[in-house]
């Protein structure tokens, strides 16, 4: 396909003549304010809006995927933290249970020593 380069000053009168021939428009400013000019302006604005919406939609999709990934990573981190906390609590609970069991044994020994002391006090004095 061959490219044709035309000077703007030469093209403008040709376009204006064609517009004038088809739509009875002799001035470009008059064309802008005509119904057809406003319709073309609205079409251009609609195309810009459509492009903006498409850009927003694609960036929203990308941001949505990034947020989903961050949420999954956060969930994994939270689960691992919860497991670590649970393990630490289980360790502390086991330690407390062993201390309570030891104190229970000490109480029995203290009670036995008190009983032995009481028996010794009764029988030997």
Tokens of 13: 């009168």
How high is the pLDDT of residue 23? Answer: 66
Q: CA-CA distance, 71 to 61, in Å (whole number)?
A: 15
Lowest mean pLDDT among 25-34, 56-65, 87-96, 110-119: 25-34
> Per residue in 90-111, pLDDT tens?
999 999 999 999 999 999 999 9
Where is pLDDT greater, at 7 or 111? 111
What phi and psi values does residue 116 have, to the nearest 5 degrees? -60, -45
Positive/negative CA dihedral, 15, 20, 26, 32: negative
Tokens of 59: 């960036």
Question: What is the residue-wise DSSP string for 53-64?
Answer: HHHHHHHHHHHH
């Amino acid at each position: 396909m061959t490219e044709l380069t035309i000077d703007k000053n030469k093209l403008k009168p040709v376009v204006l003549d064609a517009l004038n021939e088809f739509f009875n428009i002799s001035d470009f400013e008059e064309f802008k304010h005509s119904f057809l000019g406003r319709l073309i302006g609205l079409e251009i604005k609609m195309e810009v809006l459509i492009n903006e919406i498409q850009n927003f939609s694609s960036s929203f999709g990308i941001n949505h995927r990034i947020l989903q990934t961050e949420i999954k990573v956060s969930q994994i981190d939270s689960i691992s933290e919860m497991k670590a906390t649970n393990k630490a609590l289980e360790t502390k609970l086991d330690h407390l249970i062993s201390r309570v069991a030891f104190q229970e044994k000490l109480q029995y020994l203290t009670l036995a020593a008190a009983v032995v002391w009481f028996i010794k006090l009764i029988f030997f004095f």
